Structure 1
Amino acid sequence: MKLTLGPVLFNWEPEVWRDFYFRVADEAAVDAVAVGEVVCSKRMPFFDDHLPAVLDRLTAAGKEVLVSSLALITLERERRRTEELAHAGEWLVEANDISCIAHLGGRPHVVGPFVNVYNEGTAQWLAAQGARRICLPPELPLQSIAAIAAATPQAEIEVFAFGRAPLAISARCYHARLHKLAKDNCRFVCAADPDGLPVDTLDDERFLVVNGVQTLAHACTNLILDLDDLARANVASLRLSPQHCDMVAVINTFRDVLDGKKPPEQGFQELSAIYPDVPTTNNFLRARATMAKSPGLVG
């Protein structure tokens, strides 16, 4: 089973972002790496100067490089940027919005988890449009994953296996609103929360995490104890989403368990130490609605 590192969803400092990918290139046992701004187009200029060096470093290290598109396109400049990305042709595109797939015109690409692929018909249609690999939305249960994989042998099926699950993208910026700022004059306050900003319920329970215009789950998805079932469901690749922790250690722990060098239980304990004080869940995979309330595996 392959490992894919998803794009950084948070607003990290440009040098931190660059050095993160440099270290992934040099030290991480990952097969594919997605790079690019998915959440907010206003962040793009900060990383553009570093992007060529990051792409070259990852390629030289033998990683399959994916360049990710925005997940929500609301402005004309975003539409143009997406069209330019689709037509560039130099890198394999990860499409996170259906309009990007239209611009690709049938050329080989990857479909990211922000495209709603909830049934076999959608997956088959995307494969017919040139999708080489489809990362399913993180909220799908194992039964649905197995059905989609069985019906779509022409495309690799990827599952979101680590990280706070991305749940929604909005046209409104939660970070800006919290700081009484307009979205167009947000002062990039989301950069103060490199792992997202926790949201509590009225009962003071951690519920969600906000990241600019994005909403994520508070609990961290962790499927390292479910790898055998995922393999039986014909899952070809696992997606690990960057969090503000030692992601190289996360990647290498998954790789060691996949290669049989460590038992899954040991891998789970190591991941809990690498990303501590965050609840861990596999409830989406197991079709459970229980809210995670404390560190450790929920369910």
Structure 2
Amino acid sequence: MELTIGPIAFFWTAEQVRDFYRQIAAGPARRVVIGEWVCSKRLPFWQQEIPAAVETLQTAGKEVALSTLALITLKRERRQTADLFATGIPVEIADLGALKHLPEGAPFQVGPMVNVYNEGTLEWLARKGATRICLPPELPLASVAVLARAGRDAGVAVEVWGHGRAPLAISGRCYHARLHDRAKDSCLFVCGDDPDGRAVQTLDGQSFLTVNGVQTMGHAHTTVARQIEALREAGVGAIRLSPQHGDFAAITGIYDKAVRQAAAPDDTVAALAAAMPGAAFADGFLAGAPGLRPVI
């Protein structure tokens, strides 16, 4: 089993992005997905870092893919999507609309925002040219096992969401802007004030969700720390770690030990808790329970 680093979901500065990928280049992850997949307005602030990051990662022996947006709506976003396929670097689609720009016969990868819930969808994507699929984080283990078998038969690598706030929804409206009484077009990039998203609570003060511009995420960090061996037995080839602030190199190292079977599940959970003081961890989805179920 291997590690994949997903695209950065949050609005970080160009310097933060540059430093992050330098760390990842020196780490154990086999593959890395880069790109703006939440809000295209953020891209001009850090897109100049992408070519250097790709070169740094490839020099370090990593497999690199570029991500599309999870919601492609504007003409410039469609042009940007077409430009990704023209780079010659593998592309991970986060929106099925991206397939309109796929060159005839070109392979592609599929991210967790695409609803691959059954064998029929996986096989359809395989016929279109999909070579790798990261399954949505809300699937139970039984469904993951069925899709892993279907992927093996279709020649498609299957990975699962392994760590990070689960991406639950994407919207045409921006909650971050609305929260500050701003329109989406004049948001002043207020999401940058919350580099790991902004927590949402219920009226009675219970932690519930996290908002990240136009994206809604889970509050807790979904983790497969206790289910890695079950995923391995199910035929899953990789787990995906979602970037976050803090010592992400340490987090990657914790999962690397786990997938190499060099740490027991209890030790993995304890190490994560030590690396992320005060963080909440959940693993309900794989158990077929509410996703916010605490790790037990």
Give the Å deviation of 1:88.
Answer: 2.5
- 1:115 equivalent to 2:117? Answer no
Query: Partner residue of 1:197?
Result: 198
Q: How high is the TM-score relative to the length of structure 1?
A: 0.95
- 1:45 equivalent to 2:44? Answer yes
Conserved? CA contact 2:72–2:98, under 8 Å = no
Query: Partner residue of 2:168?
Result: 167
Question: Runs of 5+ in structure 1 lacking a partner?
Answer: none
Q: What whole-Å deviation, never above 9, does each CA across 1:195-221 have from its counterpart, x for those lacking one?
A: 100000011101000000000000111
Give the Å deviation of 1:245.
Answer: 2.3
Conserved? CA contact 2:281–2:295, under 8 Å = yes
Conserved? CA contact 1:209–1:215, under 8 Å = yes
Query: Partner residue of 2:85?
Result: 86
Q: Distance in 2 between matches of 1:193 and 1:262?
A: 33
Query: Partner residue of 1:23?
Result: 23
Query: Partner residue of 2:60?
Result: 61
Q: Distance in 2 between matches of 1:49 and 1:134?
A: 27
Q: Which amino acid aligns with 1:272?
A: A
Q: Which moved more, 1:100-109 or 1:42-51?
A: 100-109
Query: Partner residue of 2:231?
Result: 230
Q: Which amino acid aligns with 1:179?
A: H
Q: Which amino acid aligns with 1:101?
A: L
Q: What whole-Å deviation, never above 9, does each CA across 1:34-67 have from its counterpart, x for those lacking one?
A: 1110000001101122111111100100000111
Q: Which moved more, 1:93-102 or 1:2-11?
A: 93-102
Query: Partner residue of 1:3?
Result: 3
Q: Which amino acid aligns with 2:96?
A: I
For residue 144 of structure 1, give the secondary structure of its aligned residue in structure 2.
Answer: helix
Q: Distance in 1 between matches of 2:258 and 2:9?
A: 26
For residue 218 of structure 1, give the secondary structure of its aligned residue in structure 2.
Answer: strand
Q: How high is the TM-score relative to the length of structure 2?
A: 0.96
1:1-299 alignment to 2 at 5 Å?
1-26=1-26, 28-89=27-88, 91-104=89-102, 105-153=104-152, 154-289=155-290, 291-292=292-293, 297-298=294-295
Q: Aligned residues, how many? A: 293
Q: Which amino acid aligns with 1:298?
A: V
Q: Distance in 1 between matches of 2:148 and 2:20?
A: 32
For residue 203 of structure 1, give the secondary structure of its aligned residue in structure 2.
Answer: coil
Note closer, same or farther for the CA distance 1:290–1:256 as it changes in structure 2 (3 Å cut): closer
For residue 139 of structure 2, give the secondary structure of its aligned residue in structure 1.
Answer: coil
Conserved? CA contact 2:283–2:291, under 8 Å = no
Question: Runs of 5+ in structure 2 lacking a partner?
Answer: none
Conserved? CA contact 2:282–2:291, under 8 Å = no
Q: Distance in 1 between matches of 2:268 and 2:292?
A: 23
Q: Distance in 1 between matches of 2:55 and 2:95?
A: 25
Q: Distance in 2 between matches of 1:290 and 1:70?
A: 24
Give the Å deviation of 1:262.
Answer: 2.0
For residue 285 of structure 2, give the secondary structure of its aligned residue in structure 1.
Answer: coil
Q: Distance in 2 between matches of 1:234 and 1:261?
A: 19
Conserved? CA contact 1:149–1:235, under 8 Å = yes
Conserved? CA contact 1:209–1:218, under 8 Å = yes
Conserved? CA contact 2:134–2:161, under 8 Å = yes
Conserved? CA contact 1:86–1:100, under 8 Å = no
Please provide the CA RMSD for this pair.
1.2
Note closer, same or farther for the CA distance 1:37–1:278 as it changes in structure 2 (3 Å cut): same
Conserved? CA contact 1:87–1:103, under 8 Å = no
Give the Å deviation of 1:290.
Answer: 6.5
Give the Å deviation of 1:108.
Answer: 1.5
Moved over 3 A (4+): none
Q: Distance in 2 between matches of 1:150 and 1:250?
A: 29
Q: Distance in 1 between matches of 2:121 and 2:192?
A: 36
Q: Distance in 2 between matches of 1:117 and 1:31?
A: 23
For residue 216 of structure 2, give the secondary structure of its aligned residue in structure 1.
Answer: strand
Q: Which moved more, 1:16-25 or 1:80-89?
A: 80-89
Give the Å deviation of 1:130.
Answer: 1.2
For residue 298 of structure 1, give the secondary structure of its aligned residue in structure 2.
Answer: coil
For residue 277 of structure 1, give the secondary structure of its aligned residue in structure 2.
Answer: coil
